[in-house]
Amino acid sequence: MFLSFSRLRIAILAALIAGTAAAMWIVTVKPQYEDVAALRSQLSSLEREVSSEQAQAAALPQLRRDLLRLEASVKEVGTPNPASDDLAAVVEAFHAISASSRLEIAKFKPRSVLVRPDHTERSIEWTVEGTYQDLCKFFDRLSQIPQLITVGDLEIKPQTSGNGRGTLLASFVETMVETGK
């Protein structure tokens, strides 16, 4: 009986050792395995990111060549004039000139832009109201603008209705010529 009690003690002791080992593994080793798995996932993500960055770095010389080529073509074409590209800015500038000349703008109508190999033409039809002296001041101030501007299709009519302040209505087409260089 002593022998069987001794075997039982050994079996219980073995079971306690196995349980303690399992508990130690669960408490200490298993979280480390989970940490290793998370670190491997993070490593995989970083390797993909590095690979993407290396592909971008490999494409950088070609992008620089393309940039230089595009900059050269922009220099060849010329710098656009932002004031003439913006219709509102053009209208505002002409409104300022007409106001300082004491002309009232009765109508303006933008026309289509004409692009030619060596220049671009932007035309606007204008109708203004005022006196002959005001119209002369307007054209004088218009001639002082550094940009090439032409005036065509000028038509001057006497003001027939008594509701306006001026003595004439002048209609013309103003064309801004941009050389692009």
pLDDT digits (tens, 9 = 90+) for 123-134: 888 888 888 888
Q: With contact defined as beta carbons under 8 Å apart, do 165 and 106 qualify?
A: no
pLDDT at 159: 76
The CATH class that applies to domain 82-178 reads alpha beta
Q: What is the pLDDT of residue 67?
A: 75
The residues, any chain, with a CB within 8 Å of residue 129's CB and separated by 6 or more, are: 103, 104, 106, 159, 164, 165, 166, 168, 169, 170
Q: For 36-45, what is the mean pLDDT?
A: 89
Q: What pTM, to 2 d.p., does this model score?
A: 0.47
Q: Which of 40 and 4 is assigned the larger pLDDT?
A: 40
Q: Give the range among 51-60, 67-76, 130-139 with minimum mean pLDDT.
A: 67-76
What are the residue boundaries of the structural domains of the chain, listed by start? 1-77, 82-178
- The pLDDT tens digits for 15-31 are 999 889 888 888 887 88
Instruction: Tell whether the model's pLDDT for residue 83 goes beyond 60.
Output: no
- Quick one: what percent of the chain has pLDDT higher than 70? 83
Strands of the sheet containing 120-130, edge to edge, are: 104-115, 120-130, 168-178, 148-158
119 close to 81: Cβ distance less than 8 angstroms:
no
